[in-house]
Chains A and B, each alone.
Chain A
Amino acid sequence: MTSQPKIQLRNVAKAFGNKVVLDGIDLDVGVGESVVIIGGSGTGKSVLLKSILGLLTPDQGSIKVDGEDVIGMGTSARERVNQKFGMLFQGAALFDSLPVWENVTFGLLAEKRCTREQAHYIAIDKLAMVGMNADVADLMPSQLSGGMQKRVGLARAIASDPEIIFFDEPTTGLDPIMADVINDLIVKVTREVGATALSITHDMASARKIANRIAMLYEGKIIWQGPVEDIDNSGNEHVDQFINGRAEGPIQMAIRA
């Protein structure tokens, strides 16, 4: 890849106390690419994502977004970088004190890119993109099912036309059909918005569907990465064990924490 990567991680490390969670991560995400990071629970996937978003500060290494080092950035510079981001949280993380339309357009309103009157119409537009009709806009998040909340979360993530969208376990807690609906939506909206996507998941069906490239995180390191077509012949025992979901293999689950 000759052009500059959208996101570039070099030797990123993070420990909590003496527990090393990330141990020298190198990862490039190209413009318009969809990279999925797979790995078991507790392998540091969320920590990696939060480090890029600036919610956590890594102990060492560099994280560049569009060639700009974001670690140790001032608050206003950080806010400017974060305007490029959209994020779908695992539990959707909708604001339960606000109606759906205000949730969807929260970022736009915060950046004063529209008035409250316009916001209502924009919200209906964005909801349509994720296949929801206009009457949902005036409901409160607590009135929605889990799958619908995820879709509203997705509408919120794409509302400000982000250049990069992060997906944190987008299909966790959904039934297989709704999971597939969400996967389809992710593929569709990232293409429509023309965004770069970085997702973390342990759902292989989801990973195969939304990824151009897959990277596997294990014990704080990226142990394998490659195009999604190569995942079945990765030649890596850890990857084989993970994607086939076998209890036996080189990865030993810590039964007792």
Chain B
Amino acid sequence: MNPVQAIGRVFLNFLATTGRLITFMMVGLSHAVRAPYYPRIIVRQMIDIGYYSLPVVGMTALFTGMILALQSYTGFSRFSAEGAIANVVVLTITRELGPVLAGLMVAGRIGASLAAEIGTMRVTEQIDALTTLSTNPMKYLVAPRLIAGITMFPLLVLAADIIGVFGGYVVAVYKLGFNPANYLQNTWNFLTAEDINSGLVKAAVFGFIVTLMGCYHGYNSKGGAQGVGRATTNAVVSASILILCSDYIITEMFFAK
């Protein structure tokens, strides 16, 4: 095969995959906003995605906040700007690291498990069985997970914000000897609504990306255990890359304002 052909084939494959993904997304979203809903499944997914991710996200946020305080101290003490640490910690956590690290951790946890679960349902014909039992699998499997992802992620990130700031506070006060009242005052003074909001918008988008990627790769998996394994890997990798990519785009949008 000549090189031009090879490049053309890769490009066509890319377009075909993008098209399939967008179709899948539109169908999934259209089912998410149309009745009938499956409240029992939505609630179960919310608990799974939101509540059970809390330990992972909480630990990530706690240590990130602690590390941020230490590292920014290392930097700022060189030009006697220690007072800015509270500011740096709260801005970095709410605007950036809270949503992104939570997104990446949950991409590993939820993206992988969604892809494996739906992928196994595909290869064991459970998805076909749904169709024969008067149930639309996009509505029954995909829509509730998208809804749960979009709604639970911002809540998770809100928790991560609080825990992360707390982590920074603990290190600043107990290790670096800051005055607790001053530190909190600094944290609060610099914080604007937009810092929180931009983080929460990111969270909703990331929640959508993670659940969409998990569902898409699981739904289209084929070829037994190996296929499910591949779907799981693809779900996590593509979700992580899309999270970082959309993170830039959203930051740019808020930056422009």
Does B252 have its Cβ within 8 Å of any Cβ on chain A? no
In the assembled complex, which residues on chain A have CB atoms less than 8 Å from the CB atom of B125? 89-91, 93
Question: Which of B124, B126, B133, B136 has the most CB atoms of chain A within a 10 A radius of its CB?
Answer: B133
User: Which of A50, A75, A96, A106 is B133 in contact with, Cβ under 8 Å?
Assistant: A106
B135 touches A55 (CB 8 A): no
Does B129 have its Cβ within 8 Å of any Cβ on chain A? yes
User: Which of B126, B134, B135, B136 is A93 in contact with, Cβ under 8 Å?
Assistant: B126
In the assembled complex, which residues on chain B have CB atoms less than 8 Å from the CB atom of A93? 124-126, 128-129
User: Which of A55, A86, A94, A160 is B131 in contact with, Cβ under 8 Å?
Assistant: A55
Name the distance in Å between A203's Cβ and chain B's nearest Cβ: 19
Question: Which of B124, B129, B132, B134 has the most CB atoms of chain A within a 10 A radius of its CB?
Answer: B132
Does A255 have its Cβ within 8 Å of any Cβ on chain B? no
The number of chain A residues with a CB under 8 A from chain B is: 24
B135 touches A89 (CB 8 A): no
| B 123-155 binary contact with A (CB < 8 Å = 1; else 0) | 011101101111110000000000000000000
Does A110 have its Cβ within 8 Å of any Cβ on chain B? yes
Complex Cα distance, B136 from A252, in Å, reads 41
Chain A minimum-CB-distance residue to B120: A96
Please provide the chain A residues from 31 to 84 with a CB less than 8 Å away from any CB of chain B in the complex.
50, 53-55, 75, 79, 82-83
A110 touches B134 (CB 8 A): yes
In the assembled complex, which residues on chain B have CB atoms less than 8 Å from the CB atom of A53? 128, 131-132
Does A107 have its Cβ within 8 Å of any Cβ on chain B? yes
In the assembled complex, which residues on chain B have CB atoms less than 8 Å from the CB atom of A96? 126
A75 touches B128 (CB 8 A): no
Name the distance in Å between B34's Cβ and chain A's nearest Cβ: 12
A95 touches B126 (CB 8 A): yes
Name the distance in Å between A181's Cβ and chain B's nearest Cβ: 22
In the assembled complex, which residues on chain B have CB atoms less than 8 Å from the CB atom of A55? 128, 131
Does A87 have its Cβ within 8 Å of any Cβ on chain B? yes
| A 86-108 binary contact with B (CB < 8 Å = 1; else 0) | 11011101111000000000110
Please provide the chain B residues from 177 to 194 with a CB less than 8 Å away from any CB of chain A in the complex.
none
B128 touches A89 (CB 8 A): yes
Chain B minimum-CB-distance residue to A54: B131
B134 touches A83 (CB 8 A): yes
User: Which of A90, A94, A110 is B135 in contact with, Cβ under 8 Å?
Assistant: A110
Given A91-B124, A93-B124, A85:B132 Cβ within 8 A = yes
User: Which of B124, B126, B131 is A82 in contact with, Cβ under 8 Å?
Assistant: B131
Does A135 have its Cβ within 8 Å of any Cβ on chain B? no
In the assembled complex, which residues on chain A have CB atoms less than 8 Å from the CB atom of B121? 95
B136 touches A75 (CB 8 A): yes
In the assembled complex, which residues on chain A have CB atoms less than 8 Å from the CB atom of B131? 53-55, 82
Name the distance in Å between B45's Cβ and chain A's nearest Cβ: 11
Name the distance in Å between A19's Cβ and chain B's nearest Cβ: 15
Complex Cα distance, B126 from A90, in Å, reads 11
B134 touches A82 (CB 8 A): yes
Name the distance in Å between A186's Cβ and chain B's nearest Cβ: 17
Does A248 have its Cβ within 8 Å of any Cβ on chain B? no
Please provide the chain A residues from 178 to 201 with a CB less than 8 Å away from any CB of chain B in the complex.
none
In the assembled complex, which residues on chain B have CB atoms less than 8 Å from the CB atom of A117? none
In the assembled complex, which residues on chain A have CB atoms less than 8 Å from the CB atom of B135? 106-107, 110
A89 touches B129 (CB 8 A): yes
In the assembled complex, which residues on chain A have CB atoms less than 8 Å from the CB atom of B136? 75, 79
B129 touches A95 (CB 8 A): yes
Complex Cα distance, B134 from A86, in Å, reads 10
In the assembled complex, which residues on chain B have CB atoms less than 8 Å from the CB atom of A82? 131-132, 134
Complex Cα distance, B129 from A85, in Å, reads 11
Complex Cα distance, B124 from A89, in Å, reads 9
Name the distance in Å between A43's Cβ and chain B's nearest Cβ: 19
Question: Which of A86, A87, A160 has the most CB atoms of chain B within a 10 A radius of its CB?
Answer: A87
In the assembled complex, which residues on chain A have CB atoms less than 8 Å from the CB atom of B134? 79, 82-83, 107, 110-111
Complex Cα distance, B247 from A29, in Å, reads 57
Chain A minimum-CB-distance residue to B38: A110
Name the distance in Å between A254's Cβ and chain B's nearest Cβ: 19
Name the distance in Å between A207's Cβ and chain B's nearest Cβ: 21
In the assembled complex, which residues on chain B have CB atoms less than 8 Å from the CB atom of A95? 121, 126, 129
Enumerate chain B interface residues (CB-CB to A < 8 A): 121, 124-126, 128-129, 131-136
Q: 5 new A-B pairs (CB below 8 Å) besides A93-B125, A95-B121, A111-B134?
A: A50-B128, A55-B131, A89-B125, A94-B129, A96-B126
28 contacts between A and B (CB under 8 A): A50-B128, A53-B128, A53-B131, A53-B132, A75-B136, A79-B134, A79-B136, A82-B132, A82-B134, A83-B134, A85-B132, A86-B132, A89-B128, A89-B129, A90-B125, A91-B124, A93-B124, A93-B128, A94-B126, A94-B129, A96-B126, A106-B135, A107-B132, A107-B134, A110-B135, A111-B134, A156-B133, A160-B133
